[in-house]
Amino acid sequence: MTKYRLAAIAAVTFAFVTTFSQLEAQTVAPAGDAALGKAKFMGYGCYECHGTMGQGNYFSAPRIAPHPLPYRALISYIRRPSGEMPSYAASILPDKDVADIYAYLSSITSGKPASSIPALSSVTTKPK
């Protein structure tokens, strides 16, 4: 390889790494307050479709917790949704409030598997 090709490969690699690092930094959610986020989730009416714990509803909205979308994907969808969800401009739902709501959704833990609940163990075990 010539030194020009090596320089070009190095430049492309550097650009890729730099771009990837910038994208990765954008996906990190800003600090939010989960307690405020819960109040805002209720106050903005998110619970009406997504349920009080983000569990979703078969007829109106998908499950968004536990394990919400990455922050950048969530805020992008809130600003320009598809389907039935209305859009929320930053003037209506500020980024700080989205960060708090994201903190709330991220704080919701998965429930225990049904097989670990004694009252349900007989219906969740495999037949013999």
Q: Is residue 83 part of a domain?
A: yes
**Range of 70's domain?**
32-107
- Model's pTM, two decimal places? 0.70
Q: What is the pLDDT of residues 68-127, one digit of tens each?
A: 999 999 999 999 999 889 999 999 999 999 999 999 999 999 988 877 888 877 775 566
16-37 pLDDT, tens digit per residue, is 555 444 455 456 889 999 999 9
CA distances from 35 to 18, 32, 59 (A): 35, 9, 28
CA distances from 124 to 109, 110, 111 (A): 21, 18, 15
Classify residue 57 by its DSSP letter.
Answer: B
Confidence of residue 6 (pLDDT cuts 50, 70, 90): low
Residue 80 in any domain: the answer is: yes
The domain spanning residue 71 has which CATH number? 1.10.760.10
Is the predicted pLDDT of residue 8 greater than 60, yes or no? no
Helix (H) or strand (E) run with residue 121 in it:
helix 118-124
Assigned domain for 116 exists: no
**Would you call the peptide bond into 81 cis, given omega within 30 degrees of 0 as the criterion?**
no
